[in-house]
Structure 1
Amino acid sequence: MTRIVAVLVRGRMAEAAPPGVDPRQFLEAVAEDTYEMVAGLEFVTPVLITAVPGLDDIVWPGTEIVTIHEDEPLRAVLGRLSGDQVAVINADAPDLPSLLVGKLFRELGRAEITICPAADGGAVALACSLPLPAWADPDLDHPDVVAVLRTQAPGPRRVATISAWHRLRTLDDVERLDPGLEGWDNTRALIAGR
């Protein structure tokens, strides 16, 4: 079974940059931290999906990079991937524990789509088998993506959730980063140096 874990980078993810931090550098730091977590996982293939040019330097050699438009729907993006199962993780979750990625895939044993909700609405990540079920049109930025997907689903229990995490979409979100957690080294260094 081929499992892909794709890090999704959109330009608007730079909006949480703290004062004194260059938004582009912030975006690169959070994207690289999220990618590094993914690339360190066993039994998965990392992929970078990006609407931001010039991020080749943050990925390991040989990593597939899929270029998209800023507002390209996730359904269309998933249609460009090949493999058996995929987890798409928003790049603005640089401190996401790898354990949650494993839980996304595990829940696919009982559901067609698994969501890691964002603590303040939307979703941190989504996992599904490929191709994406025909009934699903996910938007990870929709405030209640789980409810929308459950409405789209033809029956109960098609959409599972795991524990929620947080995304860095506003300056207040940056305050949620826990210095005690491992990882997110690039984001940590950038914020500490401002």
Structure 2
Amino acid sequence: MTRIAAVLVTPSMADAAPPGVDPAEFLMAMAEDTYEMAAGLELVEPVILSAGVPGLDAIAWPGTPVLSIGSPSEAFAALPYGTEGVVISGDAPDLPPLLIGKLFRELGRAQITVCPAEGGGAVALAARLPFPDWAVPGFDEPDLVVRLRRQAPGPRMVATGPGWHRLRKPADIARLDPGLEGWDNTRALLS
């Protein structure tokens, strides 16, 4: 079984930069922290998905594919291979790796699993591959889980794991937990 962990990076993620911090640098710091968490997972192959953000090769470890996509809805279709995949929003620099592991575990009983985001949408979305054709992936829809469950052709096809937060606007910086390990690049930029 091949598991893929893809970090999705979009230009709008720079909107979370606090005053006095360069938005492009902030975007890259968040993306790198999220990618390093994904790349550090055992038995998972990392991928970076760029939806219009140049220069992401600079944060990738050697051998990590950096793929360009037109929009976040193309994320799962762009995954090069694998039997299971998770797409992680690049604006979750302090996401605990355990939450990604729980999504993969839930794929044993569901076709899609979601790590819901505070305020709506998803932090991460996992699926058996290829992504089910009855579902349309999304990350910023307020009622994503409800929509996916309505689209499912049967019960128990969409599971949820514990939720987390994303950095979507400067006020969300307060959600970062200084006691959590990781997110070193974002932490250094904010210091």
The TM tier, using the shorter chain, reads over 0.9
Separation in 2 of the partners of 1:8 and 1:80? 11
| Alpha-carbon shift at residue 73 of structure 1 (Å) | 4.4
Separation in 2 of the partners of 1:173 and 1:121? 14
User: RMSD in angstroms over aligned alpha carbons?
Assistant: 0.8
Separation in 2 of the partners of 1:133 and 1:39? 25
Say which SS state the counterpart of residue 46 (structure 1) adopts: strand
Separation in 1 of the partners of 2:106 and 2:122? 16
Is 2:7 the partner of 1:10?
no
Separation in 2 of the partners of 1:50 and 1:21? 22
Separation in 1 of the partners of 2:156 and 2:118? 21
Give the total of aligned pairs: 189
TM-score (norm 1): 0.95
Separation in 1 of the partners of 2:172 and 2:143? 18
Separation in 2 of the partners of 1:73 and 1:17? 21
Separation in 1 of the partners of 2:105 and 2:146? 21
Kindly provide the amino acid, as one letter, of the partner of residue 13 in structure 2: M
Separation in 2 of the partners of 1:158 and 1:68? 27
| Alpha-carbon shift at residue 176 of structure 1 (Å) | 0.4
1:115-154 alignment to 2 at 5 Å? 115-154=114-153
Which residue of 70, 77, 80 corresponds with 1:79?
77
* Displaced runs of 4 or more, over 4 A: none
Where do 5+ consecutive residues of structure 2 fail to align?
A: none
Is 2:35 the partner of 1:35?
yes
Contact 2:4 2:46 (8 Å CA) reproduced: yes
| Alpha-carbon shift at residue 80 of structure 1 (Å) | 2.2
Is 2:186 the partner of 1:187?
yes
Separation in 1 of the partners of 2:130 and 2:108? 16
TM-score (norm 2): 0.97
Is 2:27 the partner of 1:46?
no
| Alpha-carbon shift at residue 134 of structure 1 (Å) | 1.1
Separation in 2 of the partners of 1:77 and 1:163? 22
Separation in 1 of the partners of 2:88 and 2:11? 15
